[in-house]
Amino acid sequence: MFLIVMLPTFAASVFLLVGMRNIIRDKSFETAESKVESYGYWVNEIMLLGDQTAKNVAANKTIIDFITAEHDDNSDYYRFYAENKIEDLVSTPSQAENVYIYVNRRDFLYNEEFRRLDEEIKYAPWYESAMAGSSPVWNVLVDPVTEKYRLTCTCPIYSGEENIGAAIVTFSDEWTENVSIDSSASLILALDGRVYCSSNAPNIKAGDDLSDYAEYSDGETGFVTYDKALYGIKGYGVTRNLKNTGGVYQIALVLPDSTISYELDKMSVIYGSYCGLMVVLSLLTILLFTNTFSSRIKNLSEKMHKVADGDFSVTFNDNGSDEISQLYGDLSLMISNMQKLINDNYATKLQSEAFKLNQMEAEFKALSSQINPHFLYNTLETIRMKAYVNNDKETAALVKKLGKFMRRCLEFKDGEVTLQSELEFTKSYLELQGARFGDRITYHIYSEVSGDYMILPLLIQPLVENAFVHGVEASKGGGKIDIKVYYHNDFVYVDVTDNGQGMNDEKLAELEYKLEVSDTSSGKSIGLTNVHKRIRMYHGDQYGMRIESEEGKGTTIRLVLPRAPKSGLAVNELPKG
């Protein structure tokens, strides 16, 4: 795997390194061209500003009137110079370093801004060229104020047809700082071959003539690149010529060999180190993997054999994060699930046995309470017939209902009954209690659950009996018991609500505790505890009984049962008894 994967990867890295070196070189040229393009933009802006400023100075009426006026004494000059500055009379751009005027008059008092036009300047080629036309002329001259070579714009000043002087605007090279470049790069700016800005170019200074160099060309426009040397400076260079009415502007930028070589060497070192590190790490990884893999697999195999033999007490101490660790995790999860399954199965068996035991106990109690049911039924029938013969139909109906109720009690058996049957049984109990309490108690039974829904027997009647005994029995009138069976999400709710005396929080908490622990030692609430316990044993712990009560307002006991998978809802309402 090392030979197949790592060697081609190493070869690809070398190929990529060579490509990256060429990309860096090309990128250096692109960067230089971009910088030169930015300088070209600034040169054009300086030219526009210089032309406009020189024209504004040459056309300023205040300046022309001052130059042409006849002044009585020197105080007129002093007053004017004190109150007026050229930069105040004409809005000069921030890029302009100095603005001054050569005046062609002998009887004139000069200062730093208004200068004498002597014979040397008057017959200088640049001045004669400027005076030959009416448009500004650009030159590279020595600024008389700073005594440094500056890019200048000269415009003649006329009063009518008479030439009275010239306005000159000078620009320093500080504007070049607006375009950031490498501090080691060489920048050369020239006009018609005359240098007016030289930065980091040891053999070229302001005022030099670029025509002395073979690379100089005043005819080509656009970009020209050099990968050996430019104007005697070794490195990668780019030049650009801009032609306009002011002349030919040359912009040259040279990136020294050291800068390019440093980037290339830096990239080579990074890629070489990376490739070497990858090779070393790959070898170490292979050695570490081969040393630990077999032992971990063997350990996992031994653990699995123990589990297969039924030993679930195995421990795992693998701290890896690979596929073997995942197998350890899956094996641990499998053991936990198996233990849980065994415990759940054991608990289910215990629950089933306990339920059967309770059912048998209930049947035993029911059987023990049976005293010759046929004799009891015949006796009740005799009493009913005797009452009927004596025209006591109410007593006869009541005895009939009692017989029906007791028959159901005595016929109690294991298994489920229909909801319809359970509600009819509860209704019989309510009718018997209705005969006892008369108008003092009213009841209502409502069900939206299908009548063939299967339910454990004797679940609802104990709740109704509790409502009578502990709820409404003591009321003198207006007692009410409501039974409601309805669906709620995945459950069937059976609510038995009374408006009796209710319970305070302390009694309610005591009752809930008895239900939770199935406590019947006090002999109270045995019926409720039995119902709650039967439901949970038969259906599970998520089902059972819930109680809500408020002292003085009543109590609601709710049975929570699983929802039967019926396709539709049938709304059944049993009539009042």
* Rounded average pLDDT over 177-183: 66
| Res 166: pLDDT | 92
pLDDT higher than 70, residue 421: yes
Higher pLDDT: 458 or 414? It is: 458
SS3 of residue 205 by DSSP: coil
Which of 488, 482, 493, 506 has the alpha carbon at shortest distance from 554? Answer: 482
Neighbours of 21 (CB within 10 A): 17
Higher pLDDT: 430 or 3? It is: 430
* Rounded average pLDDT over 49-55: 90
Query: pLDDT category, 371, cuts 50, 70, 90?
Result: very low
- Main-chain dihedrals φ then ψ at residue 491, nearest 5 degrees: -130, 165
Q: Which two structure tokens, joined as six digits, stand for 311?
A: 């030993």
Higher pLDDT: 245 or 557? It is: 557
* Rounded average pLDDT over 94-113: 88
pLDDT higher than 90, residue 247: no
399: left (phi over 0), alpha (psi -120 to 50) or beta: alpha
Give the Cα-Cα-Cα angle 231, 232, 237 (nearest 5 degrees). Answer: 55
State the chain's mean pLDDT as an integer: 79
Q: Which two structure tokens, joined as six digits, stand for 561?
A: 């049962």
| Res 192: pLDDT | 87
- 304, 337, 537 from 341: Cα distances, Å: 18, 6, 18
Higher pLDDT: 467 or 374? It is: 467
pLDDT higher than 90, residue 558: yes
| Res 370: pLDDT | 45
| Res 231: pLDDT | 82
- Main-chain dihedrals φ then ψ at residue 400, nearest 5 degrees: -65, -45
pLDDT higher than 80, residue 256: no
Which sequence spans correspond to the domains of the chain?
21-258, 412-574
| Res 552: pLDDT | 84
| Res 61: pLDDT | 92
Query: pLDDT category, 96, cuts 50, 70, 90?
Result: confident
Query: pLDDT category, 573, cuts 50, 70, 90?
Result: very low
> Residue 425: what residue type?
F
pTM, full prediction: 0.45
* Rounded average pLDDT over 289-310: 74
Higher pLDDT: 548 or 231? It is: 548
| Res 567: pLDDT | 39
Note the pLDDT tens digit of each residue in 116-162: 988 888 899 889 888 888 789 999 998 888 888 998 999 999 988 88
Q: What percent of the chain has pLDDT over 90?
A: 13
| Res 575: pLDDT | 39
pLDDT higher than 60, residue 412: no
pLDDT higher than 70, residue 565: no
| Res 570: pLDDT | 39
Query: pLDDT category, 350, cuts 50, 70, 90?
Result: confident
> Please, are residues 49 and 93 in contact by the beta-carbon 8 Å criterion?
yes
pLDDT higher than 90, residue 448: yes
Which of 168, 143, 164, 146 has the alpha carbon at shortest distance from 155? Answer: 168
The CATH number of domain 412-574 is 3.40.50.300? no
pLDDT higher than 50, residue 367: no
Going by DSSP bridges, is the β-strand pair 149-159/162-171 parallel, antiparallel, or unpaired? Answer: antiparallel
Higher pLDDT: 283 or 195? It is: 195
Poorest-pLDDT segment among 119-123, 392-396, 439-443: 392-396
Q: Which two structure tokens, joined as six digits, stand for 296?
A: 């971990």
Poorest-pLDDT segment among 127-131, 376-380, 504-508: 376-380
pLDDT higher than 60, residue 527: yes
Out of 16-30, 79-93, 243-257, 515-529, give the one with best mean pLDDT.
Answer: 79-93
| Res 221: pLDDT | 65
pLDDT higher than 80, residue 308: no
Q: How far is CA 111 from the centre of its chain?
A: 70
How many whole angstroms separate alpha carbon 458 and alpha carbon 190? 112
Higher pLDDT: 324 or 51? It is: 51
Note the pLDDT tens digit of each residue in 60-78: 999 999 988 888 888 988 9
> Please, are residues 209 and 194 in contact by the beta-carbon 8 Å criterion?
yes
| Res 413: pLDDT | 55
Residues in the chain: 577
Q: Which two structure tokens, joined as six digits, stand for 330?
A: 């899956």
* Rounded average pLDDT over 405-423: 73
pLDDT higher than 70, residue 339: yes
